[in-house]
Structure 1
């Protein structure tokens, strides 16, 4: 995993795997996400309220769901340990967008700034992943211009 510091952190990227969980069903019923599991690492010590968060969906090629960024939001506080086990989670104010607003992996790979995203280089790395400040600005530009919809649709 690549080392991250507060100086280069643009946003945290939390991942979910549609082969392990019915992400589409879950987010269709309730697009708001108030907490997500993370793995213990030094990165959890860098997490704090107000930091941007992106949600990355992976898996489920056999179901035809696109890998990519499905949601946006922010942390509501630092990472917390489960009260009844060894796991960790983060409190969120995050919403999963409708499918037409998802940014597919292919679009991210085609962008010179975003092709180096940690989640593309190291897809098996543990939660949380991250994006740099420059990468976050490039993602926001994609969101604002919707220039990826013509390529993915």
Structure 2
């Protein structure tokens, strides 16, 4: 991963745990999200775009994939010992606007998204400049 090729950060949330779908139906604004300590946190800064990826088991039949778009509003912070979060200005879109994992995987320009290649990797993931341009066009 090169900062010069960063289009957006991608933060994942497991919708099978914690009722994310229901939470976002009540309150679509996301002001912070947990991340794992890694070199990537040192690369995160205010103003960088962020995508939210809803993940989970295919058994539940939810349209897992990109659920929201926003931006970082500051660097990652250690909110308590060993627990890191990033401050966000991010909104989860209505469900009919989500980009499903299947739709993204089928797109020639997006089939190599890191989140598709390494779905179990810790937050944050990243999206390249090229991939982010395609995603933003799909979201419009």
Provide the TM-score with structure 2 as the length reference: 0.97
Match of 1:9 in 2: 6
Deviations 1:28-67 (A, max 9, x none): 1100000000000000000000000000001143322111
* Greater Cα radius of gyration, structure 1 or 2: 1
- Between Structure 1 and Structure 2, the one with more strand by share is 2
Any residues of structure 2 matched to 1:37-76 within 5 Å, and which? 37-76=34-73
Q: Which of 92, 100, 104 is residue 100 of structure 2 equivalent to?
A: 104
Measured in 2, the distance between the counterparts of 1:125 and 1:6 equals 18
Match of 1:117 in 2: 113
Measured in 2, the distance between the counterparts of 1:19 and 1:71 equals 17
Match of 2:122 in 1: 126
Q: Which of 128, 136, 140 is residue 136 of structure 2 equivalent to?
A: 140
Structure 1 window deviating more from structure 2 (17-26 vs 50-59): it is 17-26
Q: Provide structure 2 residue ranges, at least 5 long, that are not aligned to the other structure.
A: none
Q: How much has 1:86 moved relative to structure 2?
A: 1.1
RMSD, matched Cα: 0.9
Q: How many residues are paired up?
A: 140
Where has structure 1 moved over 6 Å in runs of 4 or more?
none
Q: How much has 1:110 moved relative to structure 2?
A: 0.8
Measured in 2, the distance between the counterparts of 1:98 and 1:22 equals 16
Q: Provide structure 1 residue ranges, at least 5 long, that are not aligned to the other structure.
A: 145-153
